[in-house]
Structure 1
Amino acid sequence: MTLLVTGATGFVMSVFARHWLETYPTEHLVALDLAPMDAAAQRYFAPVADRLTTIVADVTQPETWRPTLEAHTVTYVVHGASVTPISRGTVAEAKREPESEAPARIIDVNIMGTVAMLEWARSLRSLRRFVYVSSGSVYKHHGPDRPGEPLPEDGYVMPRRLYGIAKLASELIAERYGDMFGFSAASVRLSSVYGPMDRETGSRNFRHVPNRIAHKALGGDPVVRVNTMDGVGDYIQAEDVASGIAGLLKAPLLRFGTYNIAAGETTTVGDIASWAAERVPGFKAEVVPAAHADIVQDAALTGGMWGAYDISRILADTGWKPRPTREAFLAYMDWLSAETAR
């Protein structure tokens, strides 16, 4: 059996691709990405490279990749290729609006790239399941109605930026294609992801708080400057995302069209800094004015896309649970330490 993963040489999809190949040692994987493997990806995939085929092509141009795929009997598709134009982290970064730099490209890749992949996938007699990789960016900035509850997949959807708008549109398109052409299709909405292979690429240059703090601590800086200790996020490690997507692909039956993949709880900046100090004694977070901070967060943003996500659907349909957030973060620090020592 063969799995096709688009966007597979980037961040989250590379972690998923390697997880799949390690978990299912008799299966093959085709990685389709606009970018060829960089040095980090080549090292990362080396242990499983004998069962990996790479296609360097633009997902919006099917004539460049469909002929190559004809040689493979693809049974699963995970479509993760996208342009991720996010700008946050410091005051200076927040002033930049990356969506305005190439809005048509964002729409073309993130919507029409999905359509191109679905048009091809619907012709496959071997196809068992199509999973579209979406994002918590489809949600509102507030909700649910009863404070303290995790955010469910139903309702509270109101994207305001092109990235979230395109993600929501592609979710609906994938669901409709599945209905029209009789194949199993589902979307996964990821909360804030960090972890192995989180690096700058041509389609993504954004680092969530755990990544920033881990790099600060392991880079020898004794202090990370923050504007608040109380800013929160539902931070999920990429390796846990990988096992969650794999579980959805292999599940006998999916009862829903969308699934949150998240930690299911929020973690503060202060929490993450204290965990980093377990690996780097003496490291700490220091509160400074926002203009001088390495990490800027709004402590008032605790609901909607910024709060905890409900993960009961994926638990019920696959039995998947993420690792405890502290354990997952420390595992990432260990990976990052080993990688930087190479």
Structure 2
Amino acid sequence: MTLLVTGGTGFVMSVLAREWLDRDPKARTVILDRSGLDAMAQKYFAPVRDRLTVITADILDPSAWSAALDAEDITAIVHGATITPISRGSASEAKRQPEAEDPARIVDVNLMGTVRMLDWARNHSGVRRLVYVSSGAIYRHHGPDWSGEPLPEDGYVAPLTLYGISKFASEMVVNRYADLFGLSAASVRLASVYGPMDRATESRNFRHVPNRIAHFALAGEVIRPNSLEPVGDYIQSSDVARAIIALLDAPQLRYRHYNIGSGTTTTIGDIIGWARERVPGLTAEISAADKANIVQDPALKHGMWGAYDIARIERDTNWRPRPGKEAFHAYMDWIAEHEMS
């Protein structure tokens, strides 16, 4: 079994590639990415490097990678190559609008990169399934209609950013290719992901709240949120990897779109409390937004900012997310071992 992972040297996709190799000593992974393995990725993949092939090329240029992929016995594809131009988390970062820096590149990579991969996949009968990695950014800011319900996959779609727009457009293209060419394909919409291998890369430089709190706590820094009340559906990268693999393994997929999240919301105050269990002397001080090192809007509690309904993936697979505190503590342990040793 050989899995092709586009964008596989980055954050979530690198964890997926490693998870695929760890579970089966005979499995192989091929990574297609514009960036090669950085120092952290080289260390991360070292135990399985003999079963990993890295093709360094631009997803938009099939002439640079299609022949190399033709030589591999690819049986499944996870297309995660993307540009994630998000700016949020501190007062200074919130002032930036990274989408304005190169908007055409975002649309080209996120949409036309998907088309290029689909064109390759449809001509290779050995590919039995393709999973497209989408995002909760395709959802609107409000919903569902009934208070307290998690956000389902049907409806509530109204992307406002080029990132979300390009992701939703790609989902629709994946669906159409599936119908036209008989591909077994589905899209996964990720909630707020943090965890192992979360670092600044060429295509993504953003850290969700659990990442920031874990690093501040382990470094002995004072955590200064603007509020303890903001929420998020936070899911650890290892859980996301296992969820995607469960969809690759499923005998049949009954849906075209699947949410992947924890299925519940967690506040900044909750996460600080979890961190304090590992770092008892941790200090947290509510601060004005201009002095805070974690800035979130307390009003963002619904739609893409709230809990994601994960009933579909629970129906079609045996995957379940770990409890939030367990996953967060596992990430703190990973940081201590791999980033601070």
**TM-score by structure 1 length?**
0.99
Distance in 2 (alpha carbons) for counterparts of 1:313 and 1:88: 30
Distance in 2 (alpha carbons) for counterparts of 1:206 and 1:284: 23
- Deviation track 1:75-111 (CA, whole Å, cap 9, x = no partner) reads 1000000000000011211110000000000000000
Distance in 1 (alpha carbons) for counterparts of 2:47 and 2:138: 36
Q: In the alignment, which residue of structure 1 is the partner of 2:65?
A: 65
Other structure's SS at 1:290 match: coil
Q: In the alignment, which residue of structure 2 is the partner of 1:306?
A: 305
Distance in 2 (alpha carbons) for counterparts of 1:77 and 1:284: 44
- Residues 287-296 or 251-260, more deviating: 287-296
Distance in 2 (alpha carbons) for counterparts of 1:151 and 1:274: 26
* Contact 1:77 1:131 (8 Å CA) reproduced: yes
Matched, 1:272 2:271: yes
- Residues 67-86 of structure 1 mapped to structure 2, 5 A cutoff: 67-86=67-86
Distance in 2 (alpha carbons) for counterparts of 1:142 and 1:151: 9
Q: In the alignment, which residue of structure 2 is the partner of 1:256?
A: 255
CA RMSD after TM alignment: 0.7
* Contact 1:235 1:267 (8 Å CA) reproduced: yes
Q: In the alignment, which residue of structure 1 is the partner of 2:193?
A: 193
Other structure's SS at 2:41 match: helix
* Count of residues in Structure 1 that have an aligned counterpart in Structure 2: 341
Identity %: 63
Other structure's SS at 2:114 match: helix
Distance in 2 (alpha carbons) for counterparts of 1:317 and 1:169: 25
Distance in 1 (alpha carbons) for counterparts of 2:99 and 2:55: 27
Structure 1 stretches lacking a partner, 5+ long: none
Distance in 1 (alpha carbons) for counterparts of 2:339 and 2:34: 26
* Contact 1:270 1:285 (8 Å CA) reproduced: no
Q: In the alignment, which residue of structure 2 is the partner of 1:168?
A: 168
* Contact 1:231 1:301 (8 Å CA) reproduced: yes
- Residues 137-176 of structure 1 mapped to structure 2, 5 A cutoff: 137-176=137-176
**TM-score by structure 2 length?**
0.99
Distance in 2 (alpha carbons) for counterparts of 1:70 and 1:320: 32
Poorly superposed stretches of 4+, deviation over 2 Å? none
Q: In the alignment, which residue of structure 2 is the partner of 1:89?
A: 89
Other structure's SS at 1:338 match: helix
Counterpart of 1:29, as a letter, is T
Counterpart of 1:21, as a letter, is L
Distance in 2 (alpha carbons) for counterparts of 1:288 and 1:248: 42
Matched, 1:206 2:240: no
Q: CA deviation at 1:284?
A: 3.0
Q: CA deviation at 1:155?
A: 0.3
Other structure's SS at 2:55 match: strand
Distance in 2 (alpha carbons) for counterparts of 1:190 and 1:341: 28
Distance in 2 (alpha carbons) for counterparts of 1:141 and 1:24: 40
Distance in 2 (alpha carbons) for counterparts of 1:73 and 1:288: 54
Q: In the alignment, which residue of structure 2 is the partner of 1:243?
A: 242
Q: In the alignment, which residue of structure 2 is the partner of 1:118?
A: 118
Counterpart of 2:125, as a letter, is R
Q: CA deviation at 1:26?
A: 1.3
Q: In the alignment, which residue of structure 2 is the partner of 1:18?
A: 18
Distance in 1 (alpha carbons) for counterparts of 2:47 and 2:132: 26
Counterpart of 1:285, as a letter, is A
Q: CA deviation at 1:147?
A: 0.9
- Deviation track 1:25-83 (CA, whole Å, cap 9, x = no partner) reads 21111011100100100010011111100000000101000011111111100000000
Q: In the alignment, which residue of structure 1 is the partner of 2:134?
A: 134
Q: CA deviation at 1:127?
A: 1.0
Structure 2 stretches lacking a partner, 5+ long: none
